[in-house]
Amino acid sequence: MVRVEFLGPIQKEPLEIDIKNLNELATILQDDSDMQEWLQNSAVAVNDTLVSSREHPLHDGDKIVLLPPVCGG
């Protein structure tokens, strides 16, 4: 089981799901109407490290966060 959190302005409760990689997460979120405006412009981190491949393996207890466009300062 992994936990998926949605940061900043993405108004969505965390998910607890049983998936093995980010391809599976992409499939789930692409079917979620709440996520359509965010998938194209959000970065992904696994255990607080940004990742660049959907093949990134996931393990039980991993935390995934989605980071929408930022603007500090």
Partner 1 sequence: MLYLYDGALDVPTILKEWYEQEDKSNYGAYIPFIGTIRDEDGIDGLSFDVYEPILTSWFEAWQNKAKQKGAIIKMAHSRGDVMLHESSYIAAVFSPKRRVALEFIDEFVEDFKASAPIWKYDLRDGERIYAKDRSTAIKGSGLLA
Per CB under 8 A, residues contacting partner 1 are: 7-9, 22, 25-26, 29-30, 39-45, 48-54, 65-73
Shortest gap between Cβ of 38 and partner 1 (angstroms)? 9
Residues sharing a CB contact under 8 Å with residue 49, sequence separation 6 or more, in sequence order:
none
Q: What angle do CA 27, 51, 8 make, to 5 degrees?
A: 75
For partner 1, the closer of residues 61 and 71 by Cβ is: 71
Smallest separation (angstroms) from partner 1 to the CB of 1? 19
Q: Is residue 16 a contact partner of residue 31, using CB atoms and an 8 Å limit?
A: no
Q: How far is the CB of 12 from partner 1 (least distance, A)?
A: 13
